[in-house]
Structure 1
Amino acid sequence: MPGLHTEVVGTGRPDFAFLHGLFGRGRNWTGIAQGLAAQGHTSVLFDLPNHGASGWTGEFSYPQMAEAVGDELRLRLGSAARLNVVGHSMGGKVAMLLALSRPELVSGLAVVDIAPAVSEGVDGFGPLIEALRSVDLAGLTSRGQAEATLKPLIPDPGVRQFLLQNLRVRRHPGHPGASQWYWQPNLDLLEASLDRVAGWPDPGTAVYPGPVWWLAGELSDYVAQRYVPAMRALFPELHQVVIPGAGHWVHADNPQAVIDAIADLAASAQLRG
């Protein structure tokens, strides 16, 4: 598993780690991390494998991603590594597995709009990937041109801009002075692995004993009451939080409510030591 790209928001030793969702990147959480920094917290934002500036892998594996995040935390913070881990959607599944497999690294856990179950909404990413493939990268001259291509295929401007953050330009390796556009995520692997992205690996008999804040968007269907027994079996110290007016991208839809909830998690974790 390749090394992971990270960015730090705040000063001093990190006490939060953020894990993004499918086709996201650590910077998606910058606004939340800045809000926490104003309260004295420092956050490390991860680009998960096959996303952002992190390396690509040969397969999609939640356990391997959790292991990679844990190794990076241990490398950064040493034997005393212990943070509040926040994971959204795909990153929420990584965060859950990290807490279950390496609880000594996790002082508190925030699972954001995802459940330990098959996520039916992932099916909708297939057409989005095909839309990204429709952009003629070889003939592309600007980001605006790419957006014009995607607009009829992805009419929602928020989703379109979210995906366009993954479009990058670099010097062309074979043509000095020329530019080359590319998609940062590993589109081939992610498209072939959507069933694994949607899935949830068997965590065995592990139980995480620390505080867990389970955030759900009021308007989202990724979290339902039928998932509560499975969630509570893995995380007995479960606290459910509904984020008003938010869909699946809760941190974009209602950032202040998310900041408040995550700060409450940190306070609870600190009280428990």
Structure 2
Amino acid sequence: MLLNTLRTSCTFQICPKILSISFPRYVTTSTSYAETVDLAYSSYESTDDETSTRPPVVILHGLLGSKNNWNSMSKAIHKSTGRKVIGIDARNHGDSKHSPQHTYLHMAHDVMKLLKKLEISKVSLLGHSMGGRTAMVLSLLCSDLVSSLIVVDISPVKTSPQIFSMVNLFDAMAAVSIRSGIAMSKARKLADEQLKGVTPDVNLRNFLITNLIQTNTGSYSWRVNIPALKDNFQQNIASFPTTLKGLQYCGPTLFIGGSLSDYIGKNDLPEMQEYFPLAELQFIEGAGHWVHSQKPEKFLDMVCSFLQEK
């Protein structure tokens, strides 16, 4: 069970100011957790990098995304830092296994399992949105595994009101109907037409449609597990797990926010530092929630500068 893995493989750090909140409080909420799932990943590495002995950078995507969304950025981070970069598909996303369970604790342990399989004992974590919270949870649960942490436009202390509109997107995606046997280009156009009713944002629709796949029989479906994501969204995805209060990750931590996004408040840093005492908070002007795709050059500079120093 996940709990046994947690007890035997991880080092916990308890905040001295909150010692009254004990570890057993977390344990009592965790005993029903299911097993981990196997995760798909892509690796970006070279054999002649001088800095290749430094910890790999593990990238965790956001809700309804995949490792493919980070392909160009992964290559750029590898080229700039010389570090191996590993892009991972979360459970119920991309090419990873599906499961009815979808919590941050599950996702963190999925990543731990993959790193153990790859025989990697230390990593720098970079996570966006849902992936950022997964990275935070992993850092809090197993701090000795994490060399440094970068969290992109998500916070452990607040949630954007916009996030709750995701339920409408789940319903709209589930309702998309495309006949079998037509070309992918036609199918994508039909999906776009049907999604217009729920969001006028063409960039968001294009992002969602990256999840459209054609099966061996010629029918179309979503590669993300819509039912599981919808069932878990309100309770397990939309907010940060409160059961982790009292734990700390005391390594180098950078929060990157978009100045046009409300996922991180400009005054949130003191509360964030209750979990991450060394946390820094920087904003990229003119960027919204998808900071890395809206301002890629500034984002790359910020991330690589942090990784070079830490």
Normalization by structure 1: what TM-score?
Answer: 0.90
RMSD after superposition: 1.7
Q: Does 1:62 align with 2:104?
A: yes
Q: Which deviations, in whole Å up to 9, do the C-alpha atoms of 1:169-200 show, x marking residues without a partner?
A: 1212xxxxxx1211011101111222121111
- 1:21 alignment counterpart: 62
Q: Which deviations, in whole Å up to 9, do the C-alpha atoms of 1:218-267 show, x marking residues without a partner?
A: 10000013432221011111111111210000011101111111112212
**Structure 2: how far apart are the matches of 1:28 and 1:260?**
19
Q: Percent of counterpart pairs with the same letter?
A: 31
For residue 97 of structure 1, report the CA deviation from its aligned partner: 0.7
Q: Does 1:144 align with 2:202?
A: no
For residue 10 of structure 1, report the CA deviation from its aligned partner: 3.1
Q: Which deviations, in whole Å up to 9, do the C-alpha atoms of 1:94-118 show, x marking residues without a partner?
A: 0001111111221110010000035
One-letter amino acid of the counterpart of residue 116, structure 1: P
- 2:231 alignment counterpart: 192
- 2:144 alignment counterpart: 104
One-letter amino acid of the counterpart of residue 98, structure 1: L
**Structure 1: how far apart are the matches of 2:229 and 2:158?**
16
**Structure 1: how far apart are the matches of 2:257 and 2:292?**
10
Which of residues 96, 103, 125 is equivalent to 1:85? 125
Aligned to 2:244, the other structure's residue is in SS state coil
Q: Does 1:243 align with 2:284?
A: yes
The runs of at least 4 consecutive aligned structure 1 residues that moved more than 6 Å come to: none
Q: Which deviations, in whole Å up to 9, do the C-alpha atoms of 1:52-82 show, x marking residues without a partner?
A: 111111222111110111121121134xx21
Residue 129 to residue 38, structure 1, CA distance change in 2 (3 Å): same
**Structure 2: how far apart are the matches of 1:192 and 1:118?**
21
Q: Does 1:231 align with 2:272?
A: yes
8 Å CA contact retained: 1:131, 1:154: no
**Structure 2: how far apart are the matches of 1:22 and 1:206?**
25
**Structure 2: how far apart are the matches of 1:2 and 1:59?**
10
8 Å CA contact retained: 1:109, 1:210: yes
Normalization by structure 2: what TM-score?
Answer: 0.80
- Shifted more, 52-61 versus 143-152: the winner is 143-152
**Structure 1: how far apart are the matches of 2:158 and 2:251?**
24
For residue 132 of structure 1, report the CA deviation from its aligned partner: 1.1
- 1:9 alignment counterpart: 44
**Structure 1: how far apart are the matches of 2:306 and 2:139?**
15
For residue 137 of structure 1, report the CA deviation from its aligned partner: 3.6
